[in-house]
Amino acid sequence: MVLILGANYKMNILTTKEFEQKVQGWKIYSRGGLNMSPYTNVPFECGCGKTHKYNNIYTPPFMDNHGNGQMCLMVKECKYLNAVELKGTFNIDRMQNLFSCKFEEKKERYGFTLNNPKIDDEINIWIEERWNLGK
């Protein structure tokens, strides 16, 4: 599915299986992902159609494409998973959405099937550490 977000921008919405296949070679973030602290409040388009700002509590990273500026972010507000790429010449001023999928929280393993990387285990870490704060 493609979501139109403006005159020239189309969002690539995938199934969970397609999303998993595209990030299969990426590494799980807890095993040494890019330090995302400098990118707090940098905006990105989400699969839900809104623009969110990165922060490590409500939009934590869970996958990293080996430090090349591409990572996957979970969005608590709308429950979408987004693969994004850092953009900007000297200062990173935005993140470009590469592709997204709806977070299927009710499905077993959230709809993921691979055992390497086991994306659902990484997501569980972030849900427990970040999304349950304040409950």
pLDDT along the chain (135 residues), means of 10: 51 95 93 88 96 92 92 95 89 92 95 92 86 55
| pLDDT at position 30 | 87
Collect all residues with Cβ–Cβ distance below 8 Å to 117 and sequence separation of at least 6. 23, 24, 26, 27, 28, 63
* Residue 13: DSSP 8-state: B
107: exposed, middle or buried (C-beta count within 10 Å: 0-12, 13-18, 19+)? exposed
What span, in angstroms and rounded, lies between the C-alpha atoms of 47 and 25?
22
* Residue 118: DSSP 8-state: -
| pLDDT at position 1 | 54
